[in-house]
Amino acid sequence: MTDKQPLNQAVFTWDGPHGLPRFEAVKDEDFKPAFDYALKAHDAEIDQIADNPDAASFANTIIASEIAGDELSRVSALFWNKAGSDTNDVIQQLEREISPEMSRHYSRIGQNEALFKRIDTLWEGRETLGLTLEEMRVLERHWKGFVKSGAKLPKDQQQRLAAINERLASLGANFGQNVLADEKSWALYLSTEAELAGLPDFLRDAMAGAAANRGEGGKFAVTLSRSIIEPFLTFSENRELREQAFNAWTARGENDGLTDNRLIVAETLQLRAEKAKLLGYPHFAALKLDNTMAKTAENVNELLMQVWEKARLRALEEEADLARVIADEGGNHAVQPWDWRHFAEKLRTQKFNFSEGELKPYLQLEKIIEACFSVASRLFAVKAVPRADVAGYHPDVRVFEIRDFNDNLIALFLGDYFARPSKRSGAWMSSFQSQHKLLLKSGIKGEIPIIYNVCNFAKPAEGKPALLSIDDARTLFHEFGHALHGMLSNVTYPSVSGTGVSRDFVELPSQLYEHWLTVPAILKEFAVHFETGEPMPEALLDKVLAARTFNSGFGTVEFTSSALVDMAFHTREPTDEPMTVEREVLAGISMPSSIVMRHRTPHFSHVFAGDGYSAGYYSYMWSEVLDADAFDAFMETGNPFNPETARKLKDNIYSAGGSVDPEDAYRAFRGKLPSPEAMLRKKGLAA
């Protein structure tokens, strides 16, 4: 790969069906020259806007900026998709190069004096411009973006801020690659019945497939993919193997080797704190929370601690119940973190007379995907049309047209559901293209959204169905909720399209969508046995619904401890030993020794593989307050698919993007802002 590599126009000219990229036509070696070209082209466009001799106007400055950089947007969308979902050594090397280069590029734009002067002039005179509400929001977003890029700082401080951002980009890329390397390199191969004791057939099939993919045919691999490690910890009767696997899972990024992330965390926190102070904020959390619903770290911590106290007490009750199960089996050990899932499953079987293994045959991936589409159809009058003839970016990827009931195409959706060693862990939604209505340089007016979901479910053996846990099924609904937020977007400007909203509002559409998974009508139709096709028995369905809050103390402690540590990292003065902060916070809140953080610091990718959720992991809970109250709006009508409530939800939440202030958007839907009570009831933590 050299600078002389010819430019592949397939990177920029997406002439597949409905404007989809022709993924097969783009090779790894095409990205470097494409980035080189696109960065220069964007620079030229920015200079043209900044140096325009005409007086600044919304059209020649803001709209021009909104449509600039189309080539860079396209190569970036293709590249970051590849880096996250199907990476390799070539892509990772370029990721390490391009992350700081992109940071330098956007720092140059953010510190372009001539361009900021034009935007600042518009901002100062904004009340005289006759702007719509959406246009005012777009102008504000551009102006604040420049201010946070250092546009108002002296030159020497601008240079320092740019250097910080560049270094942070490199650190984030390295952090994520280190976690992936640890996940990819570790596997525990099992072969004897003693080692496999307790493991149900669906898990054995997934582990056999994972072993075969790693060149160990005939064995069974425990990997660090959540879709394998969690059921292994749940079902394995071999306590020694559970401990071995659990310790490997929680030690990702903390191994004293080349992939150890602790020094990266320390440097990241130092630089974030310095950046915040340069921009006039007391700490990094204040900088990140400036444009959110929560607004201050104090508000965040107040919510987290309100929930923490209730969750911790519930978790201690749950731990005592698990200790009794252990004692009843003749065990004489305390509940350890590698025991919790195993004995919780046994306790659930006792209390509700069903097990995860009994439920799983009714949760086929294919049927849960259908359920996602069916809920969207009932709520939002859209349908998914599979396009098996259209290639995605990997053989496992499915492509769908999303159409309204008049058969108008409104979006393209790609689903990438199975784990592979080249894919980072977790689940996410992203886009190749966002919805907007602007006239582009090409003469095309507006673009439809091209959205994708990535998950990491265990891929079954050939000819076997992929069976999900209830948590997997929730994940599928969650990410499709994000996808709908992108696909139902109906705004004019790209910067406020779809998920272009504040961090603690962006999880509302996704977490709200999870509620429909357990609506009885949906389970009755789509939770059918993979062998017989029979629907889930009424008795089992009743047990599943009755058990919705089982083990909620454990899950809430896992999450809330992680969110509290995140906030502590970004409000305290940084230290060379950030792991002491993790320990101090957990000791200060009396973290039960039987539970660990959902994401320990050295592999907390939400927070350190880039800054997307830094000082923002709390946002899942903030949005959960909203989503519990929002679903109540449906239940208060007696119909989970109430048409009028669904219309308000679509118009004010799913379609509005960032064109409206989130508080105003929520009030327009619900008539009021929520309190935490509905969320606490949903978790079974309310009195």
Q: Tens digits of per-residue pLDDT, 651-661?
A: 999 999 999 99
Enclosing H/E stretch for 71 = helix 70-85
Q: Are residues 57 and 198 in the same domain?
A: no
The active-site residue, picked from 45, 135, 318, 479, is: 479
Contact 553, 313 (CB under 8 A): yes
Asked whether residue 33 is domain-assigned, the answer is yes
Q: Are residues 32 and 89 in the same domain?
A: yes
Q: Rounded distance, CA 596 to CA 608, Å? A: 18
Asked whether residue 156 is domain-assigned, the answer is no
Amino acid 9: pLDDT: 96
Q: Are residues 99 and 235 in the same domain?
A: no
Tokens of 120: 């600042």
Q: Are residues 534 and 470 in the same domain?
A: yes
Asked whether residue 657 is domain-assigned, the answer is no
Contact 265, 565 (CB under 8 A): no
Tokens of 558: 């896992």
This model's pTM is above 0.85:
yes
Question: Under 8 Å CB-to-CB from 320, ≥6 apart: which residues?
Answer: none
**Span 86-134, pLDDT tens digits:** 999 999 999 999 999 999 999 999 999 999 999 999 999 999 999 999 9
Amino acid 510: pLDDT: 98
Tokens of 457: 């479910």
CA-based nearest residue to 375, from 259, 250, 510, 277: 510
Give yes or no for residue 1 having a pLDDT over 50.
no
Kindly report the number of other CB atoms within 10 A of residue 69's CB atom.
20
Q: What is the CATH number of the domain that holds 14?
A: 1.20.1050.40
Distance of CA 123 to the CA centre of its chain: 33
Look up tokens 């900044």; give the residue: 50
Q: Are residues 61 and 202 in the same domain?
A: no
Q: Rounded distance, CA 231 to CA 225, Å? A: 10
Asked whether residue 495 is domain-assigned, the answer is yes
Amino acid 2: pLDDT: 45
**Span 164-212, pLDDT tens digits:** 999 999 999 999 999 999 999 999 999 999 999 999 999 999 999 999 9
Q: What share of the chain is helix, strand, coil (3-state, %, to 5)?
A: 60, 10, 35
Rounded to the nearest 10 degrees, the angle between the axes of helix 552-569 and helix 297-328 is: 140
Q: Rounded distance, CA 391 to CA 24, Å? A: 8
Q: What is the CATH number of the domain that holds 417?
A: 1.10.1370.40
**Span 596-611, pLDDT tens digits:** 999 999 999 999 999 9
Asked whether residue 627 is domain-assigned, the answer is no
End-to-end CA gap in the chain: 63
The 3-state DSSP class for residue 329 equals coil
Question: Under 8 Å CB-to-CB from 382, ≥6 apart: which residues?
Answer: 376, 402, 403, 404, 405, 410, 487, 488
**Span 211-249, pLDDT tens digits:** 999 999 999 999 999 889 999 999 999 999 999 999 999
Amino acid 357: pLDDT: 86
Give yes or no for residue 544 having a pLDDT over 60.
yes
Domain count for the chain: 3
Q: Among 546, 570, 590, identify where a domain stops.
A: 546
Q: What is the DSSP letter of 161?
A: H
Q: Are residues 444 and 373 in the same domain?
A: yes
Rg of the chain over Cα atoms, rounded to whole angstroms, equals 25
Tokens of 206: 């997934």
Q: Is the dihedral of CA 119, 123, 128, 133 positive or negative?
A: positive
CA dihedral 307, 309, 314, 319 (to 10 degrees): 120
Q: Are residues 394 and 455 in the same domain?
A: yes
Asked whether residue 385 is domain-assigned, the answer is yes
Kindly report the number of other CB atoms within 10 A of residue 274's CB atom.
15
Give yes or no for residue 364 having a pLDDT over 70.
yes
Asked whether residue 292 is domain-assigned, the answer is no
DSSP lists the bridge partners of residue 412 as 401, 450
Residue 298 one-letter amino acid: E
Amino acid 453: pLDDT: 98
Mean pLDDT of the region 56-67 = 98
Report in angstroms the alpha-carbon separations of 450 from 212, 469, 488, 525.
Answer: 33, 28, 11, 29
479 annotated active-site? yes
Q: Are residues 480 and 368 in the same domain?
A: yes
Averaged pLDDT of the chain: 96
Q: Rounded distance, CA 165 to CA 149, Å? A: 9
CA dihedral 563, 566, 568, 574 (to 10 degrees): 170
Distance of CA 474 to the CA centre of its chain: 13
CA-based nearest residue to 512, from 554, 545, 477, 553: 477
DSSP lists the bridge partners of residue 411 as 402
Give yes or no for residue 645 having a pLDDT over 90.
yes
Give yes or no for residue 4 having a pLDDT over 70.
no
Q: How confident is the model at residue 442 (pLDDT cuts 50, 70, 90)?
A: confident
Q: Are residues 120 and 202 in the same domain?
A: no
Q: Is the dihedral of CA 173, 179, 183, 185 positive or negative?
A: positive
CA-based nearest residue to 32, from 88, 93, 77: 93
Amino acid 462: pLDDT: 85
Q: Are residues 191 and 143 in the same domain?
A: no
Residue 200 lies in domain: 186-250
Mean pLDDT of the region 347-351 = 94
Asked whether residue 619 is domain-assigned, the answer is no
The 3-state DSSP class for residue 482 equals helix
Question: Under 8 Å CB-to-CB from 227, ≥6 apart: which residues?
Answer: 206, 419, 456, 457, 458, 469, 472
Q: Among 120, 148, 176, identify where a domain stops.
A: 148
Q: Among 518, 546, 574, identify where a domain stops.
A: 546
Q: Are residues 382 and 524 in the same domain?
A: yes
Q: Are residues 445 and 524 in the same domain?
A: yes
Q: How confident is the model at residue 355 (pLDDT cuts 50, 70, 90)?
A: confident
